[in-house]
Amino acid sequence: MDPLKTIGRSAPADDVMHLKPPVDPATLAYRQLLDGSFWQRIPAYRGVDEVTFLDHSWQARNSITNPQKLLAAVQDLVPQSFYDDVIEGFARAPMSIRVSPYLLSLIDWTDPYSDPLRRQFVPVASRLLPDHPKLTLDSLHEQADAPVPGLTHRYPDKALFLALDTCPVYCRFCTRSYAVGVDTDEVEKVSLKATEDRWAKAFRYIGERPELEDIVVSGGDSYQLKARQVSLIGDTLLDIDHIRRIRFATKGPAVMPMKLLTDDEWVDALTRVVEKGRRLHKEVVLHTHFNHPNEITAITRRGLDRLHERGIIVRNQAVMQRGVNDTVPVMQQLVKRLGFCNVQPYYVYVHDLVKGVEDLRTTVQTAIDVEKAVRGTTAGFQTPTFVCDAPGGGGKRVVHSFEHYDRVTGVSVWAAPSVKPGYFLYFDPVDTLAPEIQARWADVAEQDKMVEAAIAAARDHAAATAHASSIRR
């Protein structure tokens, strides 16, 4: 029979050729989402019904904002020694505490020290490590690149608009610990309150810069904007002719997904801005932030489905963290689970140099290794780009694109010729290095020598590359 004549016809079952063995069901585990009244495992929420738990206002009112409230919620699930560890941890943390009941319910309180969600949001003093000696509070130089307060203009055609300084939860690893949340014992915050006077200065600057096409609306967290503020910001930016793209950035779907189900006013406001953008042939999308597959539940999927039904594109930006998602199986499952919920994995960041969270940072090599294993497990457009946001304002650089990387001293050197001149340095965590190198990092003179050697090697590499290029020409 001519095979072309069989096209469009169903082949008999015994004619089907299976070129691969049957799939291991374990590889499809990313489709199995936590469901049911899982929050009732927490003593404080045992009597909370589903309607109450899915109320975003209830979640906000009952968020954990100090160690005492944490103990009142989990009660006898943790020993007193753990509670004491948390109290000391927050006394030394640059970020204030805010954890939603939803997020609290996803933590495995039978093993809190190892739980990947606890590690991200609840510091314990016994696990803290000294900050890297080259760390600064605003390591990405967002304030240095701000022409007006709360607006960072680093890339030629893109600006970051920090509309406010609050979030539905506070992440330990926040790169904006210089501004987000309330003052702590460790950090006096820069004020970025949601005031329309401050916003007006940002809008005026954006309107006067015709090269700007792309605005990220962040903070803080755009989840915390009132519906009328979402509309105000969206309409104002869309009415600027040269603005082509707007991204509303939020951690919200990962930590309080029920807002997408029960805050109709906010979702409707976002939808109207998206639809207005579409009529103007402009793109308005939502960028969110899931770091671990355990953050994605059946509630999450329902919320994301609501956005998908409205044609709202959702992309994810994750941060690679030690003990959270720095292994191949976890990152593969995160990427696949995001795709399953119609969220496009966009970026995975090497952890920024952030005060008070050295225990969460990984080496650049870890990101390189994990990226290699993730690539090829799913479609290319569903595969995130692994990047290092170069300290000093160099911007996002693909992890493979360093000019030089000394894996012994942990110093990587990056160039960003389209962003800023010069070299930008990232530093692997000191505790991951050999003991003799750790000793060198404890000596200021030796620190300078290691940095100078890395920069010299980067220059030598650049010179050799230029020479080889000239010979080929």
Q: Which of 49, 71, 68, 69 is nearest to 58 (CA)?
A: 49
Indicate if the pLDDT at residue 431 is higher than 50: yes
Indicate if the pLDDT at residue 186 is higher than 60: no
- Band of pLDDT at residue 85, cut at 50, 70 and 90: very high
Degrees (nearest 5) of the Cα angle 128, 133, 139? 90
Average pLDDT over residues 46-72: 95
CA distance linking residue 303 with residue 308, whole number of Å? 9
Higher pLDDT, 471 or 349: 349
Which of 118-122, 189-193, 233-237 is least confident? 189-193
The topology (CATH level 3) of 151-388 is TIM Barrel (3.20.20)
Higher pLDDT, 173 or 408: 408
Mean of per-residue pLDDT scores for the chain: 91
Instruction: Indicate the angle between helix axes 227-238 and 196-207, nearest 10 degrees.
Output: 20
3-state percent breakdown (helix, strand, coil) of the chain, nearest 5: 45, 15, 40
User: What confidence score (pLDDT) does residue 36 get?
Assistant: 97
User: What confidence score (pLDDT) does residue 190 get?
Assistant: 45
Indicate if the pLDDT at residue 13 is higher than 70: no
Task: Assign 145 to helix, strand or coil.
Answer: coil
Q: What are phi and psi of 168, to 5 degrees?
A: -65, -30
Two tokens at 235?
């309409």
- Band of pLDDT at residue 465, cut at 50, 70 and 90: confident
Indicate if the pLDDT at residue 466 is higher than 90: no
Average pLDDT over residues 426-452: 97
Please give the C-alpha separations between residue 5 and each of 8, 9, 14, 17, 175, in angstroms, as whole numbers. 8, 8, 18, 18, 60
- Mean pLDDT highest for which of 1-10, 48-57, 170-179, 392-401? 48-57
The predicted-structure confidence for 327-380, as pLDDT tens digits, reads as follows 999 999 999 999 999 999 999 999 999 888 999 999 999 999 999 999 999 999
Indicate if the pLDDT at residue 194 is higher than 90: no
Q: What distance lies between CA 280 and its chain's CA centroid?
A: 29
pTM, two decimals, is 0.91
CA distance linking residue 17 with residue 64, whole number of Å? 56
Cβ neighbors of 213 (< 8 A, separation 6 or more) are 157, 158, 242, 243, 244, 245
Q: For residue 50, how many other CB atoms are within 10 A of its CB?
A: 13
User: What confidence score (pLDDT) does residue 176 get?
Assistant: 54
User: What confidence score (pLDDT) does residue 384 get?
Assistant: 98
The predicted-structure confidence for 144-167, as pLDDT tens digits, reads as follows 788 998 899 999 999 999 999 888
Q: Which residue has the tokens 């049911």?
A: 36
Q: For residue 96, how many other CB atoms are within 10 A of its CB?
A: 17
Domain ranges within the chain, ordered by starting residue:
38-127, 151-388, 402-473
pLDDT > 90: what percent of the chain?
A: 77
Average pLDDT over residues 273-287: 98
